[in-house]
Structure 1
Amino acid sequence: MSPSAILILIPTTAGPLRVRALTPRPGLPASAAFADGDYRPLPWSADYARLAAAGGPLARLVGQEVGPHELRLSGSFDAGRSWEVPVGLAHGLAARGHRLVAEPEEAEWILWATGAVDLDLAVLPGDYALLDKIERSRPLLAEAPRARLAMLLPEGPERAQAEAAFRALARPEAPTMLPGTGLAAALDALTRPDEPGPPIATGPVAAPRRLGRLALPAGTLAAAGMAAMVLLAPRAMPSSGTEEPAPTFTASVPAEPQAQPAATAPATAAEPPDAGPATTPKPAIRVEELRAPAGSSCRRVAFGADPPERRPVPVETAERLAPTRLTPDLCGLAVRAEAPGTTIDVGPELRAAALPPVRLADGAQGYFLREGGRQNLVYAVQAVTEAGAASGPRLVHALTR
């Protein structure tokens, strides 16, 4: 029988955390995780936002865009990636209509899972301190003696011993061992035990090439100056053993933008007295600054408490916008294609400095700056037709201190 009321545990060496709620929150700029009773996003929320971003791994797992979610946990930890497997399965189970419960006595099933994933949601092998986590989970498991138990154990030095430890628990039924290869197989084994699961639906999302263990600089990722996203400041954490860097998602982007010198107009005869000033052609793209209003902050803007002030970025030439100052009230940028039937292609420099883009009420793409991204940069943005051809000139824009 497929599970219906499921308690999901995130094991740590300090004891298991419970997934208390997983709630769609369209008002958030990106998905974020919180400890119960706290409004501040947890340190690893930026990695969770990337995992649940539009076109990201979880969208391919559930067959649709995930959208911003509030993940509420019974507690927290500072760092590590072993939360990725249970959180990914929580999204998959919710998408298939199963109810996530917060208390052991409510659970028909308890899901005990740990491990990090790659871009294709394959579970990464490693030393996850499984035996230590199991030992610290015993008291909570004893609170739900009749609930069926399912677990996902990654490959690693303690996997065989951990499986034996689970089978030795005094439970009414033998534990269900989920495939430790990937989230799609584990989700199908848990929800469709009697039939093979379908392949992961990709919908409009192009299937990425397998990147395996991707490298991400291990420097400090600070909280979004705009977005109240307290980003991961990497520290060793014993609960997850060997940790891998968080995967990143790439897209087709234009070539590295380079600022173009302003063209010098050739000398001409004097204009007639009634000639008006020369005008710059209207660009095919509108770029606006998203700023915190007076008395507010980028943190409040990020969580929808206050709407941002939108200030158009002036056009200097047909190929360049006026520079934008990186003042504390600058929360991000909004970019929108002006011509019908066109989309926008934003350069990698801005995307690397911002959280995953969000769709604003007027259809513009909002790029909210991370604290670590608040530095001088130059990026380009291009309007693109449905056929993939450039529409109008490429605009170059600089953010400067």
Structure 2
Amino acid sequence: MSGTAILVVIPTTRGPLCLRGLSPRPGLPAPAAFADGDYRPLPWSADYARLCAPGGPVARLGAEAGAPHELRLSGSFDAGRSWEVPVCLAHGLAARGHRFVAEPVQADLILWATGAVDRDLAVLPGDYALLDKIERSRTLLAEVPEVPLAVLLPEGPERAPAEAAFLSLARAETPQILPAGHVPAAVEALTGPKGADRPDPRRHWRRVALPAGAAAAAGLVGLAGFMALAGRQAPVIKSASDPAAVAVSAEPVRTAETDPPSPSASEKPIAEKTAAEKPAAIRVEELRAPPGSSCRRVAFGADPPERRAVAPEGAERLAPTRLVPELCGLAIAAAPGLRLEIGPELRAAALPPVRLADGAQGFYLREGGRHNLVYAVHALPEAKARPEAGAAPPGERLVHALTR
């Protein structure tokens, strides 16, 4: 093994993170992930431990890959699973003798990858906001255009334009497009005869800077070494498609569903007007991705969600909400002096709630939580607090369904 120096880039919609280190730690009770310079495990470290547990996905990459490791990143992120593919690739490369560097200028190869995996290390298709992540990675990649670049792009709505965007970058070598279906196949593509095992030695020579005093003494040796190294053939990094045949396309236009026009005030029933004028103890709104965006971008804070109130359907029931692709989650708020109790059905299907700008609780649906469910929400009086005058009586309960 050549011990190729690899910079692993973990792109996010807030900018790229870099893998700082992946070190075996036999003394650790379980694998753990940390931010550089911090001793506290990252919030998603438990998920990393499950990924690397004995018999888990990473163990399929080899015995050393599944041993307890300490993962160090340049930063962290709040939610999502797109870190899984680059981290699994790093484990596979480390098990084959490769090493990782922290800066682009130190790298023999830059690996840019995103996506989630299943138990068998298959890469899950999905909307990973690829074009946005590429745009936010441009500055980092432009620092070293001469360093070979390998990318893994999961299947999804932006894969084709994302591949075209990478192939259009001004780089010394055409980026290598890795197999996107299975992590072991991508590792094999990187470590095969034309992968990361054969870095370009001439690029190493260009980076070596001899001290001025040693330059004369090393002149003859350096010249001979340069001639020997220059005689070796540089690696050929192939793409999955011919860049000449790929035209750079703009981000695909997404068509948003158009809601039917709401009835005018004169058309609304008298009972509905009366209910609207009465202060509500509970307010439930849909959180939707705006046109041209996605729920992944909304969940990561790249775009603000569109909020649409859920209409009442009865005294204690709300109109069902359709699980359309642009539905990202729900915002639930209580009147002043009241607190909320959310049913376990919604809490199990959503990420941990976040506090929105207006004080409402935001429940963003998990990738595996988009299924039919019915939950209840209660508004109860806060301890040592009384509802403001005019607020609905405490103890109000609403039932709401999410349906396909």
TM norm structure 1? 0.49
Higher relative contact order (CA 8 A, sep 6+): 1
Structure with more helix by fraction: 2
TM norm structure 2? 0.49
* Structure having the higher Rg: 2
